[in-house]
Amino acid sequence: MRIAYLLNTYPMTSTTFIRREIEALEADGVAVRRFAIRPWPHALVDPRDVADQARVHYLLSGNAAGLARALARQALLGPLALLRGLWLAARLARAGGGLVRHAAYLLEAVYLLAQLRTAGIEHVHAHFSSNAAAVALLARRMGGPSYSFTAHGPDEFLTAAADGLSLKLADAAFVVAISDFCRGELLRLGGAEHRDKIAVARCGLDLAEFVPAGPPAAADRDVVCVGRLCPQKGQALLPAAAAALRGTVPPFRLILIGDGESRAEIEAAIARHGVADLVSLAGWRSNPEVRAAIAGARALVLPSFAEGLPIVLLEALALERPVVTTTVAGIPELVDAGCGRIVPPGDVGALTGALRDILLADPETLAAMGRTGRARVARHHDLRDLSATLRGLLAAAVAPGPRVPADAAPAKARAAEAAVAADA
């Protein structure tokens, strides 16, 4: 089975989970070609991301001549297909985003289509339902292979109408939702008539990479926050919470790993609340460094306002560290009082109280939370299970004959594999 993964920007420091997903499929015998519309303009800090970047074929980024040649060839050899793509691009543009944007998507789709044909790609899978899914849809309408996409939220749900989500759902072979909440949003925005092609496949971890370091010692009171510094993740609330905790708990530190557009706002909040001795910004770190920081901490905090289902929560729980986070999107499907604390977004008082509970908890309580969290990740977020589900969906998508419901696709693929084994 030869498939392509298509991303808007890849790799980034926040797309480690996609790299792991691709690597798991490859380990299971699926040939995966990596395509992205553009490279990330910042330096990558993880060596595995750096290595993976060399395997990505970029549609843009110094490729003007290649795009022009692909367009001329398509106009000469497949003018009717190009007209179909042009008509669909105009239809998507009317929904929102404008003609220029969708003309660019059409040009990218023409170039991608040529690359897919050369490589013998049987199916394209995109992550997120925005730019990359639009390019995959246009390539499909011009005679390209079937496609699918994984929806995460939350931003893509805010622009669903303008992005033509219903059209993408209608033409997709299947759609992956990363949580029950995400599936509900897809049904609400795209229409319940597509329910049979939407499968919940939760993001996964290779648990062998996340070996628990044992419960934290009573004196260990570092709390880490990992993620892009941005308004959606709410890190600007942490200095106020740290100031409220001062003097009510033993000495502690809040360490923020990551960087982004909210850095200046967070630095100003640290100065305003006088907590430079309690809150520090560590910048981006490699995956091994992040794992080590979480394993060496008492807990992880992520006070988000808007999320899909943050991978770093899975990582902390897999390392048997409790988490403090918010009742946003798919997070309550993972986190409860058994493995941490979950509070309303934006409630500094509740956030402060939850952090106080964790900072005052005895090692036995923390250890019990950690065991519960790891067991939950093992049960619902094992990367091997995700790979098996995706492999089944992909096999059903490329198999000849009518499409089957997404929930039945893995079973169909397993039956086909068993039949092949029986004949061998």
Q: What is the DSSP letter of 382?
A: B
- Percentage with pLDDT > 70 across the chain: 94
- What integer is the mean pLDDT of 158-169? 91
Torsion angle of C-alpha atoms 169, 173, 178, 184, degrees rounded to 10:
40
Report the pLDDT value the prediction gives residue 404, as an integer from 0 to 100: 55
Is pLDDT at 308 greater than 60 in this prediction? Answer: yes
* Residues 374 and 273 placed together within one structural domain of the fold: yes
- Percentage with pLDDT > 90 across the chain: 83
pLDDT level of residue 409 (50, 70, 90 thresholds): low
CATH number, residue 33 = 3.40.50.2000
* Residues 199 and 270 placed together within one structural domain of the fold: no
* Residues 394 and 374 placed together within one structural domain of the fold: no
State pLDDT tens for residues 22-67: 999 999 999 999 999 999 998 898 899 999 999 999 999 889 999 9
Q: What is the DSSP letter of 216?
A: P
Is pLDDT at 281 greater than 90 in this prediction? Answer: yes
* Residues 277 and 326 placed together within one structural domain of the fold: yes
CA–CA separation, 377 and 286 (whole Å): 22
With tokens 């790891």, the residue in question is 374
- What integer is the mean pLDDT of 394-421? 61
Is pLDDT at 423 greater than 50 in this prediction? Answer: no
406 vs 328 pLDDT, higher one: 328
Q: Residue 410, Cα to own-chain centre: how many angstroms?
A: 21
* Residues 63 and 116 placed together within one structural domain of the fold: yes
Report the pLDDT value the prediction gives residue 416, as an integer from 0 to 100: 42
Domain stop point among 380, 397, 413: 380
Report the pLDDT value the prediction gives residue 421, as an integer from 0 to 100: 36
Dihedrals phi, psi of 287, to nearest 5 degrees: -55, -45
Domain hosting residue 34, numbered range: 2-204+383-423
* Residues 70 and 169 placed together within one structural domain of the fold: yes
* Residues 360 and 391 placed together within one structural domain of the fold: no
* Residues 51 and 182 placed together within one structural domain of the fold: yes
- What integer is the mean pLDDT of 299-321? 96
* Residues 237 and 142 placed together within one structural domain of the fold: no
Q: Rounded to two decimals, what is the model's pTM? A: 0.89
Number of domains in the chain: 2
* Residues 116 and 171 placed together within one structural domain of the fold: yes
Is pLDDT at 355 greater than 60 in this prediction? Answer: yes
* Residues 157 and 218 placed together within one structural domain of the fold: no
- What integer is the mean pLDDT of 223-234? 96
* Residues 254 and 129 placed together within one structural domain of the fold: no
CA–CA separation, 167 and 36 (whole Å): 21
193 vs 52 pLDDT, higher one: 52
- Minimum mean pLDDT among 155-164, 332-341, 372-381: which range? 155-164
- Minimum mean pLDDT among 214-228, 342-356, 362-376: which range? 214-228
CA 255, 260, 262, 263 dihedral sign is positive
CA–CA separation, 108 and 234 (whole Å): 35
Is pLDDT at 279 greater than 70 in this prediction? Answer: yes
